[in-house]
């Protein structure tokens, strides 16, 4: 039987001792300069590290220096033979140190890089989650509204961004439309975007006025807005049935509306959100007619640069909107133009966001579905007396509707007065500027929209005519036009933009067919 080899117990393991040397410890500097093994007993330094070593019974320290930097030390206790370290021992240790130091440095760098990679992966993972969370803040689908196509585009420059848009369902079928941009990019902007979106949603549910909504949102955001950060934001309320769009703007890019003959800017004044408590927001409204389209965009488009440093700019956006083909998707047209300008290698500088409100042109099937029917659209030259022609034309248009003579007289007066105002006050009797008149019929309502080129001007507050004052000579005898119109029709809707001014006369048809 073969005997098992005799096992000799290994020498008792020596517990390694770890020292932490402060970068300011004089021992660090000494060891860096030492150039070889150092006997602890011979050192006279006021050093906490040296004290630790002495207490741990360290006899010899071998500095590990790589490229002039102390990257570690080899600490040795007394020799087990209880003899002193010889010159050969020290030489051997010195050679060992010179070989081990670079290898140790490489190992340290590898370990640092691995830690960096892990941190980066963790960060990337967090960003991916943040991206998913942010995507959930954006509408998953656009409102489906008869006669309209509402669409949006969002692409952040980084994993997460500061741009946002929203569609908020309001009462009576109205839709709140939001587009915004938080200064800066990345996570801070994304966090502020989420906060702003929540604030706007809560305030929009309480107020019907876009200006008031922005005013309250600003008050809520101001206390918590980090320094050097703010939010530009445009909030609009769309009334799909009538096409009325009421809007206010907190310093965001101006939307563009394409009409039949021009593109106009929907301007309204207001400070960005989060900058100044107590800010007020100008409110405007326009009527979006069938076939018209409105583009809201963020500055990531206008401020994109080509390879030679030229900025895309608003005029190029306007050009795209101007030449937009009704059958095409305006978002793609803008993006195609942008990419052609920036080149294929473009590193997107900022978030890009677009919201498009497209009121579809009428066709026979639309009329049938909506119960609305356009009876006529015509223009008249802005010459005194042409209001009579407009009036007569409207009478001919509505002839088959069975409107009784008394009510027809009211309609005639209202049309004539509104047209006269358009000729005189809107177009200043300039025969080159036409007045456009559109007559539409709904199941129980007739509408006559009279549009001139008097937009952009401040509409003065109307002074109600007071015949007592007029007879006393305290008021001019004139000033009856609007008063008469209001008393002739069931409702009068006034809308205006930078170019056009429209008065829509609403005339109930009651039991008339």
Residues at the site binding other proteins, with contacts judged by CB under 8 A: 384, 387-388, 406, 409-410, 413, 416-417, 420, 465, 467, 470-473, 476-481, 483-484, 487
Residue labelled with tokens 């409207």: 394
Min separation Cβ 472 and other proteins, Å: 8
Min separation Cβ 419 and other proteins, Å: 10
CB of 94 or CB of 424, closer to other proteins: 424
Min separation Cβ 494 and other proteins, Å: 17
Catalogue the long-range contacts made by 95-100 (C-beta closer than 8 Å, 24 or more residues apart): 96/62, 97/36, 97/37, 97/62, 97/63, 97/64, 97/65, 100/64, 100/74
For 9, the 3-state DSSP assignment is: coil
Residue labelled with tokens 């007045």: 435
Of the candidates 390, 393, 394, the residue with the CA atom closest to the CA atom of residue 381: 390
Give the distance, in angstroms, between the CA of residue 153 and the centroid of all CA atoms in the same chain.
Answer: 11
Q: How many residues in total does the chain contain?
A: 513
CB 503 within 8 A of CB 493: yes
CB of 146 or CB of 471, closer to other proteins: 471
Min separation Cβ 174 and other proteins, Å: 33
CB of 362 or CB of 483, closer to other proteins: 483
Of the candidates 411, 370, 397, the residue with the CA atom closest to the CA atom of residue 507: 411
CA distance 60 to 42: 10
CB of 39 or CB of 409, closer to other proteins: 409
Residues in Cβ contact with 127 at an 8 Å cutoff, skipping those fewer than 6 apart:
158, 159, 160, 187
Q: Are strands 373-380 and 263-265 parallel, antiparallel or unpaired?
A: unpaired
CB of 158 or CB of 388, closer to other proteins: 388
For 217, the 3-state DSSP assignment is: helix
Min separation Cβ 458 and other proteins, Å: 22
CB of 379 or CB of 409, closer to other proteins: 409
CB of 201 or CB of 470, closer to other proteins: 470
Tokens linked to 249: 């703007």
CA distance 310 to 318: 17
Residues in Cβ contact with 444 at an 8 Å cutoff, skipping those fewer than 6 apart:
508, 509, 510
Q: Are strands 256-258 and 175-182 parallel, antiparallel or unpaired?
A: unpaired
CB 286 within 8 A of CB 357: no
Min separation Cβ 485 and other proteins, Å: 9
Min separation Cβ 478 and other proteins, Å: 4
CB of 293 or CB of 437, closer to other proteins: 437
- Cα-based angle 217, 222, 228 (whole degrees, multiple of 5): 125
Min separation Cβ 477 and other proteins, Å: 4
């Amino acid at each position: 039987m073969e005997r098992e080899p005799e096992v000799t117990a290994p020498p008792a393991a020596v517990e390694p001792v770890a020292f932490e040397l402060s970068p300011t410890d004089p021992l660090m500097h000494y060891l860096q300069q030492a150039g070889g093994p150092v006997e602890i007993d011979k050192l006279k330094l006021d050093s906490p590290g040296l004290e630790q070593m002495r207490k741990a019974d360290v006899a010899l320290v071998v500095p590990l220096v790589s490229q002039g930097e102390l990257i570690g030390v080899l600490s040795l206790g007394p020799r087990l033979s209880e003899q002193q370290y010889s010159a050969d021992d020290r030489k051997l240790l010195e050679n060992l140190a010179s070989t081990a130091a670079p290898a140790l440095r490489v190992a340290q760098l590898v370990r640092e890089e691995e830690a960096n990679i892990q941190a980066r992966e963790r960060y990337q993972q967090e960003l991916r989650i943040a991206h998913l969370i942010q995507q959930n803040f954006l509408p998953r689908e656009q409102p489906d509204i008869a006669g309209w196509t509402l669409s949006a585009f969002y692409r952040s420059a980084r994993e997460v961004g500061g741009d946002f848009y929203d569609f908020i369902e309001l009462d009576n079928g109205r839709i709140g439309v939001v587009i915004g941009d938080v200064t800066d990019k990345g996570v801070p902007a994304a966090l502020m975007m989420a906060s702003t979106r929540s604030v706007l949603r809560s305030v929009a549910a309480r107020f019907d006025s876009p200006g008031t909504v922005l005013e309250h949102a600003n008050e809520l955001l101001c206390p918590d807005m980090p320094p050097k950060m703010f939010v530009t934001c445009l909030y609009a309320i769309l009334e799909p049935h009538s096409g009325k769009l009421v809007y206010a703007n907190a310093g965001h890019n101006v939307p563009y509306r394409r009409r039949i003959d021009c593109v106009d800017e929907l301007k309204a004044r207001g400070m960005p959100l989060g900058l100044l408590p107590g800010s007020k927001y100008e409110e405007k409204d326009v009527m979006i007619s069938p076939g018209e389209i409105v583009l809201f965009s963020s500055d990531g488009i206008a401020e994109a640069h080509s390879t030679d440093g030229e900025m895309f700019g608003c005029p190029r956006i306007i050009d795209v909107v101007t030449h937009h083909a009704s059958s095409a998707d305006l978002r793609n047209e803008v993006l195609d133009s942008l990419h052609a300008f920036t080149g294929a290698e473009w590193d997107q500088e900022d978030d890009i966001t677009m919201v498009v409100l497209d009121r579809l042109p009428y066709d026979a099937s639309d009329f049938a579905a909506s119960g609305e029917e356009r009876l006529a659209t015509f223009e008249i030259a802005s010459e005194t007396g042409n209001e009579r022609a407009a009036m007569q034309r409207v009478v001919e248009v509505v002839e088959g509707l069975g409107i009784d003579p008394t009510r027809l007289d009211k309609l005639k007066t209202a049309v004539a007065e509104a047209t006269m105002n358009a000729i005189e006050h809107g177009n200043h009797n300039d025969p080159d500027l036409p007045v456009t008149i559109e007559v539409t019929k709904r199941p129980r309502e007739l509408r006559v929209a009279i549009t001139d080129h008097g937009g952009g001007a401040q509409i003065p507050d109307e002074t109600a005519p007071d015949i007592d004052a007029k007879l006393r000579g305290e008021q001019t005898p004139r000033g009856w036009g609007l008063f008469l119109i209001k008393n002739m029709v069931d409702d009068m809707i006034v809308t205006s933009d930078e170019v056009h001014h429209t008065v829509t006369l609403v005339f109930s048809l009651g039991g008339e067919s």
